Amino acid sequence: MPALLPIKESQRAVVNEVSKALQPHFSAIRTNWRNRMFAEFQLDGRAMAALERLTIGTGFRLFCHDNIHTFEENTSYYGKRLAKLQVDIRVVSQALDIYLELLDPYVHQMFEVERLGEVIAALDRFSSATYVAVSNAYFDAQKAEAATLLAVLDAELTAPNLSALLNRVLQVTTESFRASLGVILLRDADAPVLRARANVGFGDEIENLEIEFGHGFSGHIAQTGEPGILPDITESHGRLNPFCRDKAQALWGVPLKAGEKVIGVMLIGFAKPYVWLPTEHELLRAIADRSALAIQRAGMTEALREREARIAELSGYLLRAQEEERKRISRELHDETGQALMVIRLYLGMLEATVTTRTAKTKIHETLEVVDRTIEGIRRIIGRLSPLVLQELGLIAAIRKEAKDLAKSAGVKAKVSVGDNVGRLSPVTETAVYRVVQEALHNVAKHAHATTVTIQLRRDGGLVKLCIEDDGVGIKQSQKPNPGRRSFGLAGMRERITTLEGTLKVGPASRNDEGAGTRIEVTVPAASAGDWHDRGLTLVPGSGEVHAKGAN
Ligand SMILES: Nc1ncnc2c1ncn2[C@@H]1O[C@H](COP(=O)(O)OP(=O)(O)OP(=O)(O)O)[C@@H](O)[C@H]1O
Ligand SMILES: [Mg+2]
């Protein structure tokens, strides 16, 4: 490292010589210097003490031992201290000048006339070199402050989550102040209680720490919203939590405020009693203000992320519950209503055989027809509620059946094209894809005024791709059936597919002009086929009949 005081060897030797010669007079010189300084600047004791350390009067012992290096280190240290005490650099310059002035009569008295020029030049040089070193120290102190604030800003911009942000801010702060201890406590969302969320120098013991607002040192800072300092913990008179008492000798604390609201407290601790200097106090507050904003933002983002995750979890659960509920209702319709209708049908048939009058026969016959239509209707409802064809014959057969039903009910020509390698997928995937097809085809029937719809299903490596395209009026052109009413079909499709970590795109049909027709594209991971077991219901293949399992 280059010498902080660029002063020639020969001049340094002269300064040493002067220090030795003036030794008996330094006390008197210092008294005069203090009086002059006090009259001109009225500095506080800490600033005066730091200035005094820059003079040969204090450094003479070091010079006597030719220990200029330690003197240089002291100059840099006290220079920084003066910067932190916010002493104007011009005051430093004047303090050094006054000191030189006071040395002058002694120098004249003690040195031969022919040496005076050399001695005065060496003292001048020493004084200006000291001033340069102090200016550098001022510059370094400002640079360090700016670097600290930049590091906090960097943490804010790059920390991936709240906990990382808190740790980085605390790390930067404790390093910047050379503190041995640090903790950030954040307020609970719903109670005035502080909890430790990041720490330096404590370890796990602090994790369960809980401090009520108003209690102890940090609770007081949280309640008043004002910074606090315990320069010497031995005099804290019980205001301090015991876990801090063993670890530090001095504690500084600042509130973390978002607007007027205290969202937390940052504490840093030192191994020795220590009072903050004005710029240190200001820097700590600036760090706290900057970090509070970042912490609040990160907290909100985290809460939003958590809420999104909870909503996704909940909607997944609701979709599963909905499927279960549909199955339960269809089972009850089948087992209760369906069976009862079958019994009614049987008895009516027997009755028809026994009655003799023509009117009665006609009435019973008509009733039997109503019962048959009702049974047919219930079968349709059961099929829609719980896609048994899906469970029994798989997705492809279920899609073909839906397409056939659409053609029959809405008169839309439906083409189904399935890749060879689709195979069976996991139950959840098949159900989701099936429900998307079902809703999309309902929409075609309800809104599209289409003549043709094509449904394509294929497998592409680990993905299943579904595409449903109609040649109808397109989504933008179609009139909302009920403008005041909210629609759930497309949203439900998206939700199902998102739950499976797939994607859904809705847009105009590709082969038509822009806006004509609708195309829905779904991509989902093709999870392997799961455990297929129906829940008490079977569909007799080929017959279209639904039977309770085990029934003849
Ligand atoms: N294939 C389509 N062709 C034309 N317009 C469509 C098509 N599919 C959807 N739409 C339009 O998009 C809107 C939203 O569809 P969505 O399925 O979300 O709701 P919905 O069918 O109106 O009601 P819900 O499905 O909740 O019973 C529909 O109201 C309709 O205007
Ligand atoms: Mg719909």
CATH number at residue 508: 3.30.565.10
- 132 plus 226 within the same structural domain: no
For 306, what's the count of Cα atoms within 13 Å in the CB-facing half-sphere?
8
Domain that holds residue 190: 159-306
Spatial separation of the C-alpha atoms in residues 100 and 107, rounded to whole Å? 10
Selection from 12, 32, 10 nearest residue 101 by Cα = 32
In a domain, 205, yes or no: yes
Please calculate the CA angle 371-376-381 and round it to the nearest 5 degrees.
Answer: 120
Closest-CA residue, ligand 1 atom 28, reads: 480
Write down the pLDDT at residue 5: 55
- 436 plus 520 within the same structural domain: yes
Does 519 sit in the ligand 1 pocket, CB within 6 Å? Answer: no
Does 488 sit in the ligand 1 pocket, CB within 6 Å? Answer: yes
Q: How many residues does the chain have?
A: 552
| pLDDT of residue 1 exceeding 80 | no
Share of the chain above pLDDT 90, in %: 52
Mean pLDDT of the region 134-160: 92
Q: Which ligand is nearest to the CA of 508?
A: 1
Centre of ligand 2 to C-alpha 441, Å, is: 9
Tell me the CATH number at 130. Answer: 1.10.490
Contacts of 147 (CB under 8 A, 6+ apart): 176
Q: Which of 86, 117, 149 is the last residue of a domain?
A: 149
Looking at every residue in the chain, the average pLDDT score rounds to 85
Does 490 sit in the ligand 1 pocket, CB within 6 Å? Answer: yes
Write down the pLDDT at residue 481: 52
Number of domains making up the chain? 3
- 120 plus 204 within the same structural domain: no
In a domain, 363, yes or no: no
Spatial separation of the C-alpha atoms in residues 96 and 396, rounded to whole Å? 94
- 66 plus 141 within the same structural domain: yes
Write down the pLDDT at residue 66: 62
- 191 plus 234 within the same structural domain: yes
For 19, what's the count of Cα atoms within 13 Å in the CB-facing half-sphere?
23
Backbone angles phi, psi at 520, to 5 degrees: -120, 125
Centre of ligand 1 to C-alpha 516, Å, is: 15
Spatial separation of the C-alpha atoms in residues 54 and 131, rounded to whole Å? 9
Q: Tell me the best of 442, 447, 477 to mutate to test the pocket of ligand 1, counting ligand atoms within 8 Å of each CB and taking the most.
A: 447
Write down the pLDDT at residue 519: 94
Per-residue DSSP letter, 268: E
Spatial separation of the C-alpha atoms in residues 383 and 17, rounded to whole Å? 109
| pLDDT of residue 101 exceeding 90 | yes
Q: Say if CB 215 and CB 265 are below 8 A apart.
A: no
Q: Which of 109, 125, 149 is the last residue of a domain?
A: 149
Give the residue, 31 or 206, on which the prediction is more confident: 31
Question: pLDDT-derived band of residue 335, with 50, 70 and 90 as boundaries?
Answer: confident
Question: pLDDT-derived band of residue 56, with 50, 70 and 90 as boundaries?
Answer: confident
Q: Which of 130, 149, 168 is the last residue of a domain?
A: 149
- 115 plus 251 within the same structural domain: no
Q: Tell me the best of 487, 493, 518 to mutate to test the pocket of ligand 1, counting ligand atoms within 8 Å of each CB and taking the most.
A: 487
Please calculate the CA angle 458-464-467 and round it to the nearest 5 degrees.
Answer: 60
Does 330 sit in the ligand 1 pocket, CB within 6 Å? Answer: no
In a domain, 286, yes or no: yes
Does 447 sit in the ligand 1 pocket, CB within 6 Å? Answer: yes
Termini Cα distance of the chain: 98
> pLDDT tens-digit profile of 422-441?
888 888 888 899 999 999 99
- 453 plus 505 within the same structural domain: yes
Q: For residue 255, what is the enclosing H or E element?
A: strand 250-258
- 93 plus 232 within the same structural domain: no
- 252 plus 206 within the same structural domain: yes
Contacts of 482 (CB under 8 A, 6+ apart): none
Please calculate the CA angle 137-141-146 and round it to the nearest 5 degrees.
Answer: 145
CA dihedral 222, 225, 226, 229 (to 10 degrees): 10
Question: pLDDT-derived band of residue 142, with 50, 70 and 90 as boundaries?
Answer: very high
- 90 plus 233 within the same structural domain: no
Write down the pLDDT at residue 334: 85
Closest-CA residue, ligand 1 atom 17, reads: 489
Closest-CA residue, ligand 1 atom 14, reads: 487
In a domain, 315, yes or no: no
- 116 plus 210 within the same structural domain: no
Write down the pLDDT at residue 394: 85
Per-residue DSSP letter, 415: E
Q: Which ligand is nearest to the CA of 518?
A: 1
Write down the pLDDT at residue 539: 29
- 195 plus 119 within the same structural domain: no
| pLDDT of residue 7 exceeding 80 | no
Tell me the CATH number at 192. Answer: 3.30.450.40
| HEC per residue, 483-510 | CCCCCCHHHHHHHHHHHCCCEEEEEECC
Least confident interval from 56-65, 118-127, 537-546: 537-546
114 vs 108, 111, 262, 392, 417, CA distance in Å?
11, 8, 70, 118, 113
Write down the pLDDT at residue 530: 38
Centre of ligand 1 to C-alpha 447, Å, is: 6
Mean pLDDT of the region 287-291: 93
Centre of ligand 1 to C-alpha 493, Å, is: 11
Spatial separation of the C-alpha atoms in residues 81 and 280, rounded to whole Å? 10
Spatial separation of the C-alpha atoms in residues 168 and 155, rounded to whole Å? 6
